[in-house]
Structure 1
């Protein structure tokens, strides 16, 4: 099935007409949420066992729970382990060749005559992981494993943040599942001295959590009074070759709690969080007795947003939806079999749904392909491409690498430790290393996909629940700078 409907409803700025190229509106009329406002929302609930419900770190695990001991990982060729604070690093060597080199970067990331990574620089050597049970997001250095900052995502601790998305500057937008999107600025020199005291007051680590409104690297918060605010994805923006600055960086999000079978997709202004446009989608199928809307989001090279609907096929197929950036119309395709939890768009332009199955959609031919089922199908969340023809996805205590053309499993990375739940979040960093984040857990793992060795174990997360583009690597591979 394929439909195209223009249903833009604007709350905060002048509405675009259908077919408008989407320049930024500048009217003063403001009927929507303002930057810095705080919403309340209701806690997420659901009767299905596959729901991603988290209430103050519940879901079978108390907030902040962990197991003791951080064993090292070895591929049998010899290891050297060092532990500093909450970070354990493991260097694996074979003869005289070490496997911890961080010199490779997949995908082109350099703008014309501009500095490295189009202005993002070291800010893109960061992974942002949501502490769902604590109501915060952690900023972790992907090279050292050091936590560089921890930030509140709402005035209360009840936002249940989950999906994160990273833009060209390394800034993060995090969606609170019980309502509201918060943006945190990655580079201190770009933060705003809100009290004009000449000093940027901001978190310096996991133990340095500032009160709401005090951290001057929290760029904006858009209150959304919706208890089903999951998907989030930055647009690519445009590079100004004179200034080497990325412009028109905006954020897609959405909610699905208005009524069963309905959803709303919204585009937020990346500078201040105001709503540029809303796109109602009134006719989503209701595949389960309980209502579940959009669970994942990712952009393509045109900054259109693709959204996945949870599971499905009982009694109706789930939908894969694309909302078009240029005119705010939307298109949809039925998903054969189940839908999926997480999703991504890879460098080839393929759209992937990752749930119990791994499904690839080709927008050019509108055709689907499936990877072989692993262990009869796995219950997991996120996935991301490496820019070199492999899609990584979680599978219980492992991460599998799937060839994006043949759909065959070509790599198996052992990740989890005793006490971990399924590997739910999967990401690739700008050194080509793969990250795995267990569901509702306290740890994050960095793995060398070439050797399978675990190079780093970060300890200190609080009921982490995420599956999205936590590093910005997926965005750069779809539209290199």
Structure 2
């Protein structure tokens, strides 16, 4: 029998955390038409758990048959699809948190200068905050279980799935896909493509909300402990987005956290935001919205017209924050956009026709990287506004991640594998093939970097690989379900640009 309740000596409600300073503000506001209040889903604990098939649609470029993205049965060159081709088949030591001996500038760090600032010069003028690099509080991989309507929380150190949470009502038809994680790793946002909503989950019990005031937190404790919608007190809120177009193709995809403003007195980021993109009801218009993580209030909506390049019936497909106050996002196989989060202006560039942008990220230098499906891996230099196709990359590329060692990692279908690229020389270091993964390689989708710098590659067919980026040692983690999951699943991408090594 699973014990789902844990007694605590102190309960901290989410809105009153330092991270989210707007205590007591649970109302949504309209701001002269530019801001729209979202509708919070409450859900009902009806006790039912209906098995539902995935609502994926053929030809949508979303991991489904017929869209040319490397899935079985679509005639795109995958093993087993009948087309005759070969292929794939489709603890934070040193985190700057104020601990003695961790090298973060605290007294007792052993830097030899006696001033306690950790900078080694003896004058006591060192950066006590280490440029805001307070690191992660927790390290988890958040994997969307697309056909179940849930998201899994996997401990990146122990490899254990510590919780599984519904992202909507119990019918399982929400089709979650993109996940993005806050700067400190404490919160994960999940986008539901089919129901047009986004859901926030707390990683740690101390951030959960005792909604029934019983002085305990009721929450999932493992992969087989999926609670009814509305029963898990670590699922903090869910918001229906406004003006979502028809069909699964219009639902939210590109999303990212903005860490907020750095407070030098507390050495913490405050007033964070979330950015989410979806397709509107108008044929050639999409929306990028800024949400308050405290309660999901939609504070601002940026409308983007002339959305007519590439597969224009899809919304912003991928998104990433660059550490410089900008959110980057793409149109599926179309343009690349940069949104200034201060003045809400948008720059846009047409990508080369062969780029076929699918997944994306931004590196520590502020440059954007795109995985083409099917096409090359492409780099966009933000300084000279030029595109460079990386030689030796030609596949259906999916998720993209940049690490702190100068690598860019890209999931590959047809052939199945993982591309490793030197982002300075713009050359391939290694193509990690299916054989490198003991032929346990079907349809890799998401790629992310964890707190320790390990590379994670999530396979749509029910597992994830953890790999050392230097020794290439690997471990596999089985995660039940179908995982069409993308984006910054660990928060490592956000940390890499805010605190570059």
1:143 alignment partner, one of 157, 179, 185? 157
Instruction: State the alpha-carbon separation in 2 of the partners of residues 52 and 257 from structure 1.
Output: 22
TM (norm. structure 1) is: 0.76
Structure 1 vs Structure 2 CA RMSD: 3.2
Shift of 1:281: 0.8
Q: Radius of gyration: which is bigger? A: 2
TM (norm. structure 2) is: 0.73
CA contact (8 A) 2:446 2:487 kept: yes
- Is 1:180 the counterpart of 2:200 in the alignment? no
Shift of 1:151: 0.6
- Judge which range, 360-369 or 137-146, deviates more: 360-369
CA contact (8 A) 1:162 1:230 kept: yes
CA contact (8 A) 1:319 1:339 kept: no
2:173 alignment partner, one of 158, 167, 173? 158
Shift of 1:358: 0.9
Q: 1:4: which partner in 2?
A: none
Shift of 1:158: 1.0
Instruction: State the alpha-carbon separation in 2 of the partners of residues 45 and 281 from structure 1.
Output: 26
Shift of 1:113: 4.5
- Is 1:368 the counterpart of 2:380 in the alignment? no
SS in 2 for 1:182: strand
TM alignment of 1:32-181, pairs within 5 A: 32-37=37-42, 47-48=58-59, 50-53=61-64, 113=128, 121-123=136-138, 125-155=139-169, 156-170=171-185, 171-178=187-194, 179-181=196-198
CA contact (8 A) 2:358 2:370 kept: yes
Shift of 1:14: 4.6
Instruction: State the alpha-carbon separation in 2 of the partners of residues 445 and 467 from structure 1.
Output: 15
Is there any run of 5+ residues in structure 1 with no aligned partner, and where?
1-10, 19-29, 62-100, 312-317
Change (3 A) 1:232 1:109: farther
CA contact (8 A) 1:118 1:246 kept: no
Q: 2:408: which partner in 1?
A: 391
TM alignment of 1:384-423, pairs within 5 A: 384-396=401-413, 397-414=416-433, 416=437, 418=439, 420-423=441-444
SS in 1 for 2:480: strand
Instruction: State the alpha-carbon separation in 2 of the partners of residues 113 and 321 from structure 1.
Output: 36
Instruction: Note the alpha carbon deviations across 1:323-382, whole angstroms, 9 max, x for none.
Output: 2100222110110123311100011111111123111111221111110143xx211310
CA contact (8 A) 1:110 1:116 kept: no
Shift of 1:202: 1.1
1:321 alignment partner, one of 331, 337, 341? 337
Instruction: State the alpha-carbon separation in 1 of the partners of residues 403 and 317 from structure 2.
Output: 22
Is there any run of 5+ residues in structure 2 with no aligned partner, and where?
1-26, 44-53, 66-70, 74-90, 96-101, 106-126
- Higher RCO by CA contacts (8 Å cutoff, separation 6 or greater): 1
TM alignment of 1:441-480, pairs within 5 A: 441-454=461-474, 456-480=475-499
Change (3 A) 1:214 1:115: farther
CA contact (8 A) 1:413 1:449 kept: no
CA contact (8 A) 1:110 1:480 kept: no
SS in 1 for 2:496: helix
SS in 1 for 2:231: coil
Shift of 1:103: 7.7
CA contact (8 A) 1:172 1:186 kept: yes
Instruction: State the alpha-carbon separation in 2 of the partners of residues 150 and 117 from structure 1.
Output: 31
Instruction: State the alpha-carbon separation in 2 of the partners of residues 122 and 480 from structure 1.
Output: 15
